[in-house]
A and B are shown apart, each in its own frame.
Chain A
Amino acid sequence: MTAKSRGEDVMAGFDGIVHAPNRLRICALLDTAGEAEFGAVQEQLGVSASVLSKHVTVLMDAGYVAQRKAVRATRQRVWLRMTSEGVAAYRGHLAALRAIVGP
């Protein structure tokens, strides 16, 4: 495999869905935390519930994020986690970004 084709392989990991700044941060958080409650994600990223909800919906539609609902103290909480496809897409995207940055 030539250096050029290796570079093209890495670049193929660039994911337009993940790349949007807030979605990249959501993916970074969920990849690190494993699973996180919606409110905790909101607090960590400093975004409004509606903005977070919008980006989470995009990631869920892409099959990158899954949600689980749990009741705590009579209130329903939503827990988010990356799917295996999401983890692969996120890590592939990071590799593409590193390739763009270069050595």
Chain B
Amino acid sequence: MPTDTTPPGGITPEQARTALAEAEEVRTSTTALSATPWPAWFAVCLTLYSAALPIAYGGVMADEDWLLPRPAWIGVLLLMVLLFTGLFAVAARNWRHRTGVALRLDVLPKRATVPLFIGLPAILIGSAVAFRTTGWPGWLVGAALLAGATSIGFHLAFVRLHRKSA
């Protein structure tokens, strides 16, 4: 980088460094605020929903009736999605009011979120297809455990990030 360009406004390197440090400090504290974890009640709902989704989807996709008739599984799945959407709306509104900042999905690093957004749908569909092909419900149970564990893991990641940055 050249050094023979006159700094605008007569800003010295030291002043520029101070300004950058102030901006970084605000960025860190704001990141902590944006990483405020969900309240416990919604973290539990999210984990239960994540774990139940592969089971219900597997029931819908089953080659023949499994535990419940297919229309019942469709009803369960729709009810779950509607209930979760409603709870999410309430939790998101309360979260925004409590923190005073927008809800963002890009607070965690991309190396964590990209595999999540690709991996979870793949697990959901993959387990249902595997169950439909083999008839072995272990695929669905495994996917449910994995999805539930992922939900807990992400909640703990937010808790840690929030504490670390605060």
Contacts and interface: CB of A to CB of B under 8 A. Distances in A.
A50 to B, nearest CB: 19
B1 A36 contact: no
Nearest to B2: A7
Interface residues of B, number: 31
Interface string A76-95: 00000100000000000010
A94 B9 CA distance: 14
B72 interface: no
Contacts of A19: 9, 11, 19
Given A3-B1, A39-B100, A14 B9 contact: yes
Contact of A21 (B19, B27, B31): B19
Interface of A is mostly: helix
B30 A32 contact: yes
B2 A40 contact: no
A44 B1 contact: no
A70 to B, nearest CB: 10
A100 B7 contact: yes
Contacts of B141: none
A29 B31 CA distance: 9
A24 B20 CA distance: 9
A75 B104 CA distance: 25
Contact of B29 (A11, A44, A102): A44
Contacts of A100: 7, 11-13, 16
Interface in A2-17: 3-4, 6-8, 10-11, 14, 16
A8 B20 contact: no
Contact of B26 (A45, A72, A101): A45
22 contacts: A4-B4, A7-B4, A7-B5, A8-B5, A14-B7, A24-B19, A24-B22, A24-B23, A28-B24, A31-B27, A36-B100, A39-B100, A44-B29, A44-B30, A45-B26, A81-B102, A97-B11, A97-B16, A98-B16, A101-B16, A102-B13, A103-B1
User: Closest 5 CB pairs between A and B?
Assistant: A40-B100, A7-B2, A37-B100, A35-B102, A14-B8
